[in-house]
Amino acid sequence: MTQDWPLYEVFVRGKRGLNHVHVGSLHAADDAMALTHARDLYTRRNEGVSIWVVRSEHIAASTRDEKDPFFAPSADKVYRHPTFYDIPEDVPHI
Amino acid sequence: MVGREVGVSMTSTGTEASAAGWDEARLSEQFDATIAKDQRIEPRDWMPDGYRRTLIRQIAQHAHSEIIGMQPEGDWITRAPSLRRKAILFAKVQDEAGHGLYLYSAAETLGADRAELTDALIEGRQKYSSIFNYPTPTFADVGVIGWFVDGAAICNQVPLCRCSYGPYARAMVRVCKEESFHQRQGYELLLTMMRGTDGQRAMVQDAVDRWWWPSLMMFGPPDDDSPNSARSMAWKIKRHSNDELRQRFVDMTVPQAEKLGVTLPDPELSWNEERGHHDFGTPDWSELQRVISGDGPRNVERVSRRRAAHEEGAWVREAATAHAAKQAARTQETARTQKTEGAAA
Amino acid sequence: MSDDHVYLSLAEGHDDSDARWAFGTGFEDPLHGVDQTVPEGTDSAQLAAFCLALGDDALVSAQRLAQWCTAAPELEEEVALANIGLDLLGQTRLLYARAGQVDGTGRGEDAYAYFRDADDFRNVRLAELPNGDFAFSITRLLVLSSWRLALFERLATTASDPVLAAIAAKGVKELAYHRQYAAEWVVRLGDGTEESQRRTRDALAAIAPYVDELFADDGELRTEVLAVLRQVTDAAGLVLPEVAPVPGHGRDGDRTEHLAPLLAELQSVARAHPEATW
């Protein structure tokens, strides 16, 4: 039964300079197999330079109901977003 | 599910919610508002049980369809008549396995277990798309499946890229991008064959005659006979009705058929200037019913092949698990020994 | 619903500069920039025959892997085995194309694959044996990929034909992955359960008589490859038995009874429509 092969979450870095992004999950018996499977499943079309696999059970996640206090609403801290600032178009490199 | 919640035990939705002091009405409001704003529901969000259950069933059946769908075309890899076609078909069928895996993965974010879903498929408790219960007697069927079946799947799947459940929508984006090659390779094969020998042209027309009506049936029964559709549409896990998608598919495919030089086996097919769409005949819904309920030409074979692979593969999966356990034990033993030696030193 | 082409609507709401989705159409041609002329002093007939034999190995192996489709022990293995099969099919096509350029006939890849009989094939016999169970197939893959990798590593740097050298260089990366995949599985199966151990032991016993043929009289190659295999079998707790080799040689045209039916299936549609283009 595949329930004996634990669930792994897969993170792929698409190219240098980017973060790893969560792309999905798969089942594998051990870490080596998980990496092999992740390479076959998620980077078949050369979509990654780096793969991380983590046993799903090892991921600690924030609880769904803590949403409001945990994630401060971005609506009242708009100064964190670049679009907040109106800069003339002819200023280069900004 | 992705991850375990730190500090809160995995209890039912309602208990967690009330433990955190949020009442179900408030959560339900938030859920509805998210959907109304066309935003995504993610795995950690509160959701009605009906939404979760409907999604699990829909995603699982979609996944099962990809896996079962490997069979009618997979049979032709060994006999593909050119190395290029062989490679293309091998890659396509491989993609289908991959799509099934992405979708099982999406279903698991909702709390389903892949092994249980596999059992449900093998035991006939969950279904897959009726189209894969038809046989593929010639190589032209490979082309027509790419053209019709992948074409219909794309009609269905592109809107799902905007469905309300995040992991499913993202899986659909990945699937659609890969599937763009699937339909094109099928149509290209047919173009080549239609420009070829008399034998090839006859093979194509014969395949078209056999696959047209079943492909229309892929979109499901007419809207009037689809009781669950309204709820799925309200939850935005279904974005268009069966009839809308079916019409879309017909309108797309008719000009493609003209370019190919094949006739579609429907004498009622004609452009309706007023509606701005093609009129077409009525599929034989009793055939769809029969095939769905297990009485299609290949139902038994498709499921038994999946069952056989799963059962015959059990010893392999068990061996991998056993080895992993032994490795873990060895690693622990080594660490313990080193610790002891370190302490003794 | 958008009236645009269905694929255009995919772009709506998705940042297409996201490098995760780096599909595109920019495929690399492994022979780009490689001089295609046969070098002075190279025996064309020999080079063609060699490319053909290596192509036959890959085609027959790819066919056996394709027979695992929808029968693999887990869905992830479906994807992995297809990946390996596709790599080998790619090698087949490059090698057959080179043979056609060099043997003076100008034949294309399909002429070699579909319109030669079993008697004309020159693959090693280990490749044509039936798949058996997963233990047999994966152990066979270990042996063949370890051997082919060692061979291609040599060819990449020492082949006098620059095209063959380029094909081998590309193949090395693929084969290293095939060998690693197979090795990990042989260790899992050898170490796993009593049943998997027994099956893998049986596989090694069935494969052993066909191993000698791989090395011809290249003692260095034999030593290197057997050492690699021993590393894996040691980790798996098993042994590749030393047995008397099967008489004859696949490279000389000796065959088992398994190639003819394999080719009959492979060639059936192409031969039914000999004038057709696909």
Model pLDDT, residue B1:
46
The residue among B216 and B339 whose pLDDT is bigger is B216
Count of C-beta atoms within a 10 Å radius of residue B234: 13
Model pLDDT, residue B18:
47
Model pLDDT, residue A3:
53
Which residue in chain C has the smallest CA separation from B189?
C278
Which residues of chain A lie closer than 8 angstroms to B115, CB-CB?
1-3
- Residues of C near A (CB-CB distance < 8 A)? 18-23, 74, 76, 79-80, 83, 180-181, 184, 188
Q: What is the band of B345 on the pLDDT scale with cuts at 50, 70, 90?
A: low
Which residues of chain A lie closer than 8 angstroms to C79, CB-CB?
37, 40-41, 44
Say if the Cβ atoms of A14 and C22 lie within 8 Å. Answer: yes
ipTM of the complex: 0.92
Which residue in chain A has the smallest CA separation from B310?
A1
Q: Mean pLDDT, to the nearest integer, of B46-67? A: 95
Identify the CA nearest to C129 among candidates C200, C57, C186: C57
Q: Are B327 and A31 in contact (CB under 8 A)?
A: no
Candidate from B106, B178, B324 with C-beta closest to A29: B324
pLDDT for A43 beyond 90: no
Q: Are B212 and B264 in contact (CB under 8 A)?
A: yes
Q: Which residues of chain C have pLDDT under 50?
A: 1-26
> Which of A33, A41, A45 should be substituted to probe chain C, the one whose Cβ sees the most C Cβ atoms within 10 Å?
A33
Say if the Cβ atoms of B319 and C188 lie within 8 Å. Answer: yes
Q: Are B139 and C271 in contact (CB under 8 A)?
A: no
pLDDT for A68 beyond 60: no
The residue among B331 and A64 whose pLDDT is bigger is B331
Strand partners, A51: A12
Report CA C202 to chain centroid distance, whole Å: 23
DSSP chain C: ---S-TTGGGGTTS-TT-GGG---S----TTTT---SPPTT--HHHHHHHHHHHHHHHHHHHHHHHTTTTTSSSHHHHHHHHHHHHHHHHHHHHHHHHHHHHSSS---HHHHHHSS-GGG----HHHHS---SHHHHHHHHHHHHHHHHHHHHHHHHH-SSHHHHHHHHHHHHHHHHHHHHHHHHHHHHHHS-HHHHHHHHHHHHHHGGGTHHHHTT-HHHHHHHHHHHHHHHHHHT------PPPSS-GGGT---TTHHHHHHHHHHHHHHSTT---
Which residue in chain C has the smallest CA separation from A14?
C20
What share of chain B has pLDDT > 70, as a percent?
A: 93
Identify the CA nearest to B139 among candidates C157, C78, C277, A55: C277
Model pLDDT, residue B299:
92
What residues have CB less than 8 Å from B10, skipping those under 6 apart? B1, B4
Model pLDDT, residue C12:
39
Candidate from C21, C71, C275 with C-beta closest to B309: C71
Say if the Cβ atoms of A3 and B171 lie within 8 Å. Answer: no
How far is B172 from C227, CA to CA, in rounded Å? 47
pLDDT for A29 beyond 90: yes
Which residue in chain B has the smallest CA separation from A55?
B3
The residue among B68 and B22 whose pLDDT is bigger is B68
pLDDT for B238 beyond 60: yes
Say if the Cβ atoms of B180 and C71 lie within 8 Å. Answer: no
H-assigned helices in chain A: 31-42, 67-70
Condensed to tens digits (0 to 9), the pLDDT of residues B84-116 reads 999 999 999 999 999 999 999 999 999 999 999
pTM to 2 decimal places: 0.89
How far is C38 from B208, CA to CA, in rounded Å? 48
pLDDT for B12 beyond 80: no
Q: Are C51 and C92 in contact (CB under 8 A)?
A: no
Count of C-beta atoms within a 10 Å radius of residue C21: 17
Average the pLDDT over each of A49-58, B69-78, B173-182, C118-127 and give the range with the smallest value. Answer: B173-182
Average the pLDDT over each of A37-46, B200-209, C3-12, C91-100 and give the range with the smallest value. Answer: C3-12
How many interchain CB pairs under 8 A, A with C? 43
Radius of gyration of chain C (CA): 21
Cα–Cα–Cα angle for C110, C207, B307, rounded to 5 degrees: 75
pLDDT for B9 beyond 60: no
pLDDT for A85 beyond 90: no
Q: Mean pLDDT, to the nearest integer, of B264-279? A: 97
Q: Are C81 and B77 in contact (CB under 8 A)?
A: no
The residue among A48 and B342 whose pLDDT is bigger is B342
CA distance B104 to chain A (A): 9
Q: What is the band of B179 on the pLDDT scale with cuts at 50, 70, 90?
A: confident
Model pLDDT, residue C215:
96
How far is B177 from B169, CA to CA, in rounded Å? 13
The 10 Å CB-count burial string (b at 16+, else e) for B115-144 is: bbbbbbbbeeebbbbbbbbbebebbbbbbb
pLDDT for B80 beyond 90: yes
Q: Are C139 and C204 in contact (CB under 8 A)?
A: yes
> Parallel, antiparallel, or unpaired for β B4-5 and A60-61?
parallel
Model pLDDT, residue B227:
82
The residue among A41 and B205 whose pLDDT is bigger is B205
H-assigned helices in chain B: 13-19, 24-36, 49-74, 83-108, 114-122, 139-144, 150-160, 166-194, 198-217, 229-234, 242-260, 285-290, 299-312, 314-344
Model pLDDT, residue A89:
63
Model pLDDT, residue A63:
62
Which residues of chain C lie closer than 8 angstroms to B100, CB-CB?
75
Say if the Cβ atoms of B82 and C270 lie within 8 Å. Answer: yes
Average the pLDDT over each of B258-272, B300-314, B316-330, C21-35 and give the range with the smallest value. Answer: C21-35
Q: What is the dihedral of CA A72, A74, A75, A81, to 10 degrees?
A: 160
Q: Mean pLDDT, to the nearest integer, of B52-62? A: 96
Q: How far is CA C140 from CA B153, B313, C61, C137, C190, in A?
A: 38, 18, 10, 5, 14
What residues have CB less than 8 Å from B80, skipping those under 6 apart? B86, B88, B89, B139, B142, C269, C278
Model pLDDT, residue B262:
97
Q: Mean pLDDT, to the nearest integer, of B173-186? A: 87
pLDDT for A60 beyond 90: no
Q: Which of A82-86, B150-154, C210-214 has the highest mean pLDDT?
A: C210-214
> Which residue's entry shows tokens 């295999």?
C229
Model pLDDT, residue C21:
32
Q: Is A25 on the interface with B (CB under 8 A)?
A: yes
Q: Are C200 and C232 in contact (CB under 8 A)?
A: no
The torsion region of residue C255 among left (phi > 0), alpha (psi -120 to 50) and beta comes to: beta
Say if the Cβ atoms of B321 and A5 lie within 8 Å. Answer: yes
- Reported for B193-200, long-range contacts at CB under 8 A and 24+ positions apart, including other chains, are B193/B140, B193/B143, B193/C276, B193/C278, B194/B260, B194/B261, B194/B262, B195/C277, B196/C276, B196/C277, B196/C278, B197/C273, B197/C275, B197/C276, B199/C273, B199/C276, B200/B140, B200/C273, B200/C276
Q: Are B40 and B236 in contact (CB under 8 A)?
A: no
Model pLDDT, residue A86:
58
